[in-house]
Chains A and B, each alone.
Chain A
Amino acid sequence: MRCGIIEIENLSVTKTVCGVLKQVNQEESDTEKAAQDGLSASSSTRRIHVCLNHVSHRFGGRTVFDNLSASISSGQTGIITGSNGSGKSTLLRIIAGLLEADSGDVTFETDGSYLDTQMRRHMIGMVAPDLTLYKELTGAENLTFFASLKGIKADRAMLVEALTEVGLRGRGRDLVGGYSSGMRQRLKYAFALLGRPKVLLLDEPTANLDSDGMAMVERIVRCHQARTDGALAIVATNEPRETSWGEPLIHLERGE
């Protein structure tokens, strides 16, 4: 153990409330079936512990944050708050393994093993303002492409379901370049949920979304929290409605 872990036991919530997360690949379907048959203890139900160990980062001469330590485990939703420019997005990128901290590190630990960057990324679904999908492809083509990269065979039924769940049914054949900013944000959720990732990282989760979209995001987060296979979420936001989705993880002050 490299850091103290606060473990919270999962609530026994049934999965029937989670229509939004039905898009599973064959492997995970089999795993779920096996779990239902009482053959649990597969790798997909392993608990994950994410630890931030004395993480510091600076851009040029400006320290964004210094000596941050925190931890979060399966079943929890951690909220990162802080003013504009305090480093919330940067911290999420460091957690995702997209950016290396100047000092300290972030570890993903499961069953005593620390995951390398590629393994870590494979279990992450991320929505962020600087994450963009291909404008020259259609919504369905984007999902098919990223699903195939993750080893998921995206058939028509799965695509329709994924697009329906984010409110883009009937728009899958349109180029993303022709989408509104809200539709692009919805498509990012369809992308983030591909392969049913265990770790959900949301940066400004309801940016550009209307009230229906905001409700959709909340439903996604609630369903993610209700999973019993070791899922966790980290949300970077300042919206009061969103901060109520989980427990405060870190509050960032603007650095110097």
Chain B
Amino acid sequence: MKASTGPNDASNWMAQARCLFLKDLRAELRTRVAINSVGLFAFSSLLLVALATRGLREVMTLRMLDLPIDIIRPADVTAAMFPAWSAASKMGLLWTLLCFAAFAGLAHSFVHEEEAGTVTALRLSMSPAGVYTGKLAFNLTLLFAVALLVTPFYMGLTGMQAGNWPVFLTLMLAGCIGLGSTATIVAALAAKARGSGALFGAIGLPIITVFLMLLLNAANTLYSDSTDAAAHTIKTVQDVGGLISFGILLISVSAFTFRFVWEE
């Protein structure tokens, strides 16, 4: 006969998650390891994007001003460049940037526990559900903060428009949840495999590819010039709903499988 109830049952894993979240937050504000790595990556990427797309912005500005851009650039080149720099493409680039920034910093949450040897004390004191929820909450908070700082800068640098603001904000929120949950479970896997960075990218790639495809679908719909409002609304709900569903599915699957990752 096994004892069915215990100290780490559903009644207190939320409290444990809250404790872990606050501990991680306190430690992070003190050491700033993840903040620095995510922030440095995000802002150096922003700078590179700004430099790399300077020419494109000039062309865009000239086109907006209705100036004869063919004088500056050959027509065939500009024709090739404009489609590649649509609003949806800008959104794609933003999320690529956020993905790499997240992968640069969010792995720290689990890898640090393994490398520092604190994982033994955590395993003795916490339920797997509490650990997963606490780490997920911390990673999401970090990601929301980065997205909140980086997105306005990025929009200013690239001239990206929000389009429909409620849909844009929902898309950003769903994107952060999807990316944060992906990074959390992949970080746990990578930390257990003691492979850290390289493995983190390798394991995360298949999941992140699906996530980015869904995100770009939603972005395409957000910025599409559809004349049929009803069809556009349905497509928006479908795409953003798909993105949100992916996030929820990932969190659910991760919550169920995390126990096995954590205990191995």
A169 contacts chain B at the CB level, 8 A cutoff: no
- State whether the Cβ of B257 lies closer than 8 Å to any Cβ in chain A: no
Q: Given the known inter-chain contacts A124-B124, A135-B116, please indicate yes or no for A149 contacting B27, CB distance below 8 A.
A: no
| Chain-B contact segment, one of A12-20, A77-85, A109-117 | A109-117
B19 CB within 8 Å of chain A:
yes
Do B26 and A137 touch across chains, with their CB atoms under 8 A apart? yes
**For residue A129, which residue of chain B has the nearest CB?**
B117
Q: Give chain B's interface secondary structure class.
A: helix
Q: Which of A136, A145, A149 has the most CB of B within 10 A?
A: A149
Task: Give, as a whole number of angstroms, the nearest-CB distance from A46 to chain B.
Answer: 11
How far is it, in angstroms, between the C-alpha of A70 and the C-alpha of B127 when the chains are bound?
28
For A100, list chain B residues within 8 Å (CB): 263
- CB contacts (< 8 Å) of A96 on chain B: these are 124
Q: With A132-B118, A136-B30, A151-B12 in contact, is A116–B23 under 8 Å at CB? A: no
Min distance, Cβ A225 to any Cβ of chain B, angstroms? 22
Interface residues contributed by chain A, number (CB under 8 Å): 32
- Which chain B residues (123-160) contact chain A, with CB distance < 8 Å? 123-127, 130
Q: Are A134 and B7 in contact (CB under 8 A)?
A: no
CB distance from A114 to the nearest CB of B (A): 5
Classify chain B's interface size: 20 to 34
Query: Could you tell me if B30 and A131 are in contact, using CB atoms closer than 8 angstroms?
Result: no
Assess whether B89 is interfacial by the CB under 8 Å rule: no
| Chain A residues within an 8 Å CB radius of B116 | 132, 134-135
The residue of chain B having its C-beta at the shortest distance from the C-beta of A125 within the complex is B124
Interface centre among A114, A126, A141, A150, by most B CB within 10 Å? A150
- Distance in angstroms between the alpha carbons of A185 and B23 in the assembled complex: 21
Q: How far is the CA of A135 from the CA of B99 in the complex (A)?
A: 29
Residues of A within 8 A of B12 (CB): 151
Interface residues of A in 90-143 (CB under 8 A from B): 96, 98, 100, 112-119, 121-122, 124, 126, 128, 130-137, 141
Least Cβ distance of B207 to chain A in Å?
27
Is B31 in the interface zone, CB < 8 Å from A? yes
- Tell me, in angstroms, the Cα distance from A47 to B157 when the chains sit together: 68
The distance from the CB of B121 to the nearest CB of chain A, in whole angstroms, is 6
10 closest A-B pairs by CB: A132-B117, A122-B7, A119-B6, A149-B125, A118-B8, A131-B120, A118-B6, A136-B27, A148-B19, A145-B23
Between A and B, 14 residue pairs with Cβ closer than 8 Å are: A113-B1, A116-B2, A116-B6, A121-B125, A122-B6, A126-B124, A130-B117, A132-B116, A132-B117, A134-B23, A135-B116, A136-B27, A145-B19, A149-B130
Known contacts A119-B7, A121-B123, A135-B116; 6 further A-B pairs (Cβ under 8 A): A116-B2, A116-B3, A118-B9, A131-B120, A132-B117, A150-B125
